[in-house]
Amino acid sequence: MPAAPPLHAELAGRLIVLFDGDCVLCNNWARFIAARDPRCQFALGTLQSATGRELLRARGLSLELSSVVFLWPGGAAVKSDAILRMMAHLSAPWPLAAALRLIPRFLRDAGYDLIARHRYRWFGRAPACPLPTPELRARLLE
């Protein structure tokens, strides 16, 4: 019997960002990434989507994550590491943010957690069905 095709073979080699689809800040982050990705390297999806959950499961990550997740061939990152790794792939000057990795992760993640804990209060919840731009729609995972 032939081997089953890999999960979401069309995503092989892609950089994938999974974010909280209910969060205005997170939706704006996805738009930020798309606008600064001229090579269209990133595919975007929500943590709540079936595809997002399958990708988390395939990487051995918790389905209860409330952090942004960055997946690349052979790796995964969450919280501040995810943000900084994403920025390394964006157009200039954003890769310079990698210098922030000199700050110890526990401090970076403490700042990330503070914002994440208050994100709905400070930025609100996304409408039930935010309408993406055509450029963003082309990058969204089903």
Rounded to whole angstroms, the Cα distance separating 139 from 67 reads 20
pLDDT at 37 (0 to 100): 92
pLDDT at 79 (0 to 100): 96
Rounded to whole angstroms, the Cα distance separating 18 from 92 reads 22
pLDDT at 1 (0 to 100): 37
Closest CA to 78 of 138, 28, 8, 20: 20
Rounded to whole angstroms, the Cα distance separating 135 from 141 reads 13
pLDDT at 130 (0 to 100): 58
| Cis status, amide bond into 95, omega within 30 of 0 | no
**Residues in the chain with pLDDT < 50?**
1-5
